[in-house]
């Protein structure tokens, strides 16, 4: 009799486990299928880098970050990746932007060495980019910049704000010695639709 009761109890417990599975931890960044996003693409149409002593600012029609997330749990999302830019007219082709509004500038390389989001609506990223400014009198001038930027977002949204500083490694005009970078980014997942953060 005791054996039958124990067997019956085991069956009841098994059925209960199937009917009411334990809650799974949700990722901080979710894709279209409500699963943990493995890759995100952040695109901005208003990002501007202003050089403190360089005499101007760098503006692109679009700036894009492609981030591979190697950590994406309930409280944190972390990764790294690359960046790209598309030109501002009249320099409207891939990799070209405008310095001081008129000077054609090519973005030679763009990398994001670290990208970090916390579940409180904040984050941090480290980036590096190299540009070549075609100056009307000085010719082609290469400027390398490294920077860090704070990230803010509203939980449940698909957008982030980037606000940070850059340091120029070439202390010559028009590169300058540093500056700021600011922009609003829309975040999509690896399938195309907007990702959900928080």
The domain limits of the chain are 26-197
Summarize pLDDT for 48-95 with one digit per residue, the tens: 888 765 557 888 888 899 999 999 999 999 999 998 887 655 444 455
Considering only residues 1 and 137, tell me which one the structure prediction assigns the higher pLDDT: 137
> Helix, strand, or coil here: 15?
helix
Q: Which two tokens stand for residue 15?
A: 């059925």
CB contact at 8 A, 141 and 172: yes
Q: Is the pLDDT of residue 21 over 50?
A: no
The CA distance from 31 to 44, in Å, is 19
**Helices assigned H by DSSP within the chain:** 2-19
Mean pLDDT in the chain?
Answer: 82
CB contact at 8 A, 156 and 30: no
Summarize pLDDT for 150-193 with one digit per residue, the tens: 999 999 999 999 999 988 776 666 676 778 899 999 999 999 88
Count how many residues are written for the chain: 198
- The fold of the 26-197 domain, in CATH, is Porin (2.40.160)
The CA distance from 129 to 99, in Å, is 14
Summarize pLDDT for 145-156 with one digit per residue, the tens: 889 999 999 999
């Amino acid at each position: 009799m005791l054996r039958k009761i124990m067997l019956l109890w085991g069956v009841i417990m098994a059925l209960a486990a199937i009917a009411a599975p334990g809650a799974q931890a949700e990722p901080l960044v979710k894709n279209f299928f409500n699963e943990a996003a493995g890759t995100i693409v952040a695109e901005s149409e208003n990002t501007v880098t202003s050089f403190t002593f360089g005499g101007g600012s760098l503006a692109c029609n679009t700036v894009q970050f492609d981030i591979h997330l190697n950590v994406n749990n309930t409280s944190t999302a972390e990764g790294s990746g690359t960046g790209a830019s598309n030109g501002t007219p009249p320099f409207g082709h891939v990799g070209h932007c405008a310095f001081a509004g008129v000077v054609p500038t090519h973005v030679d390389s763009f990398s994001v060495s670290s990208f970090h989001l916390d579940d409180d609506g904040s984050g941090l990223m480290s980036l590096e980019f190299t540009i070549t400014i075609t100056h009307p009198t000085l010719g082609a001038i290469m400027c390398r910049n490294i920077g860090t930027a704070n990230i803010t977002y509203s939980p449940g949204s698909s957008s982030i704000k980037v606000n940070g500083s850059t340091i120029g490694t070439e202390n010559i005009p028009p590169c300058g010695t540093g500056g700021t970078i600011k922009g609003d980014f829309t975040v999509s997942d690896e399938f195309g639709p907007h990702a959900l953060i928080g």
